Amino acid sequence: MLKILVIEDDVAFCKLVEKFLTKNGYEVSTSFSAAEAKTKIATTKFDLILTDLRLPDSDGMTLLSEFTKDIPSIPVVLMTGYSDINTAVKAIKNGAADYISKPFNPDEVLIVVANALKANEVVSEPKQARAKKATNVIKESNSEFVLGISPASLKLAEYIKLVSPTDISVLIIGESGTGKEVIAQKIHQNSQRNREVFIAVDCGTTPKDLAASEFFGHIKGSFTGALNDKVGYFEAANGGTIFLDEIGNLSYENQVQLLRALQERKIKPVGSTKEIAVDIRIITATNEDLREAVKIGDFREDLYHRINEFSITSPSLKDRKEDLLIFAEFFLEKANQQLNREIIGFSDEVIQIFQNYSWAGNLREMQNVVKRSTLLTTAAFIERAVLPSELFLVHPEKDEVVFSLSQNEKEAIIQALEQTQNNKSEAAKLLKINRKTLYNKLKLYNLEY
């Protein structure tokens, strides 16, 4: 049975975590201080350490530094309140396996614990390499894939891992700006074709009349303007992977040509009588409902089934709320490199603004916001003053209430409790505070729930 050490000075909460993890098959030991934890670690071999960020005789960051130095083989997961998430993300960069924000989501706790333990089983590099791999931000050559901790991100990662080694066609479905091309690149990098070329084509910007030439090439003189022979995308991608973004924008005629190429694995350049055999893997993407397009006759059903041997959903940012700060930190690091800056992070106020904003443009919008803010920032942290004005125009979805304790605090607490049917953990999430703070405020306002 795997052994977990829980370090938490809140005795009641510590016991709650102990009971929950024990119920789910783990052997759990608890410590209420850093000193007590060090004593137990000296005499017992643990598989995982789960520690609060703030302790009476130390703090999670200091402990993390000591643990990664003295016992690098044991993964450390931080437990943190909402206001400390920015610090927790930095801790991941310094070697923490992951973090869990309070109040806890039971499913999230089990996922994070399981992933930390699993990662530790397969990693056997030296400490420095292990700490680098433990971070949730994974950067590879020619890729910006970011692995989050949300259920949607974990499912995405699972599907990528499952489909990458195969050679079947993949259709990536998702809103604009969710990183569909990055997912396609990740699949290619994890495939057996990763030593060959990856070519991305935007079907939305490919003119109908030139699509055949762009895809399959042409020979000199085949049409007006064909001054030289041209190699098309399919021939250029031979042996590798071709990614067709926004495939729903192809004309019906272009769909027929594409279907033939995929069925026969042969192409014929415009104006040529010779066929060229191609060995490629095709990955496509769309932000529209191709099934509906098939129904109304805008998209060929046989082509749809050909490209959709396996589908993956690219989740929107609103479905990856737990990952928001991981992405923000990733884009900040990237902006620092591009703009030659050394911005440390985001102020607590900016973090809350990010959490409350809808991010309709998804990751692309966030990247632009962070880059712009980095350019305008002259201090160590990105502050509210440099954010674009649209971030302050909160547009809640239908029937959704945006909760804030900045105004009408008592009323906000009452509404949050009513919406969650008196579930204090969920109410605390809505209010962006931890459960202990919520209880204190209930007492302050004499609210009985």
What's the confidence (pLDDT) of residue 124?
38
Is residue 250 located within the same domain as residue 336?
Answer: no
Mean pLDDT in order along the chain per 10 residues (449 residues)? 89 82 90 90 91 82 84 86 60 76 72 77 40 32 69 93 95 94 94 92 83 89 79 91 93 92 92 91 93 91 95 93 90 91 90 90 94 93 92 56 56 81 77 74 77
Q: What is the DSSP letter of 249?
A: G
- Of 286, 314, 342, the domain-final residue: 314
User: How far apart are the C-alpha atoms of 354 and 359, rounded to whole Å?
Assistant: 8
% helix / strand / coil in the chain, to the nearest 5? 50, 15, 35
In a domain, 294, yes or no: yes
Assign 283 to helix, strand or coil: strand
314: nearest Cα among 352, 283, 280? 283
pLDDT of residue 125: 38
* Structural domain contains residue 7: yes
Euclidean distance between CA atoms 319 and 322, whole angstroms: 9
**Residue 103 and residue 163 in one domain:** no
Question: Can you count the helices (H) and strands (E) in the chain?
Answer: 19, 16
CATH number of domain containing 36: 3.40.50.2300
- Which of 314, 334, 354 is the endpoint of a domain? 314
Q: Which domain does 334 fall in, by range? A: 318-392
- How far are the Cα atoms of 3, 7, 261 from residue 45, in angstroms, in the given order? 8, 15, 58
Burial 286-322 (b: 16+ CB within 10 A, else e): bbeebeebbeeeebbeebbebbbebebbbbbbebbeb
Contact between 327 and 316 under an 8 Å Cβ cutoff? The reply is: no
| Tally of domains within the chain | 3
**Residues comprising the chain, all counted:** 449
pLDDT of 123? 43
Q: Find out whether 261 and 221 touch, Cβ atoms under 8 Å.
A: no
**CATH code for position 384:** 1.10.8.60
Q: How far apart are CA 329 and CA 323, in angstroms?
A: 10
Q: Are residues 108 and 255 in the same domain?
A: no
Say how far apart CA 180 and CA 131 lie, in whole Å: 28
Kindly report whether the peptide bond that precedes residue 103 is cis, defined as omega within 30 degrees of 0: yes
The reply to whether 190 and 307 lie within a common domain is: yes
C-alpha 206/C-alpha 347 separation (Å) is 43
Q: How far is CA 437 from CA 55, 248, 409, 424, 434, in A?
A: 17, 50, 13, 11, 5
Residues 71-83 pLDDT 10s: 888 999 888 764 4
Residue 432 placed within a domain:
no
What 3-state DSSP class applies to 56? Answer: coil
Tell me how far apart the alpha carbons of residues 71 and 211 are, in angstroms, rounded to a whole number.
58
Assigned token pair, 146: 């970011």
Q: Which has the closest alpha carbon to 310: 119, 161, 98, 130?
A: 161
Both 281 and 211 in one domain: the answer is: yes
The CATH number of whichever domain residue 258 belongs to comes to 3.40.50.300
Q: What pairing do the DSSP bridges indicate for beta strands 76-80 and 198-202?
A: unpaired
* Mean pLDDT score of the chain: 83
Tell me whether residue 298 is in a domain. Answer: yes
pLDDT one-digit tens code per residue, 284-309: 999 988 999 999 899 999 999 999 99
What is the pLDDT, as a whole number, of residue 119? Answer: 65
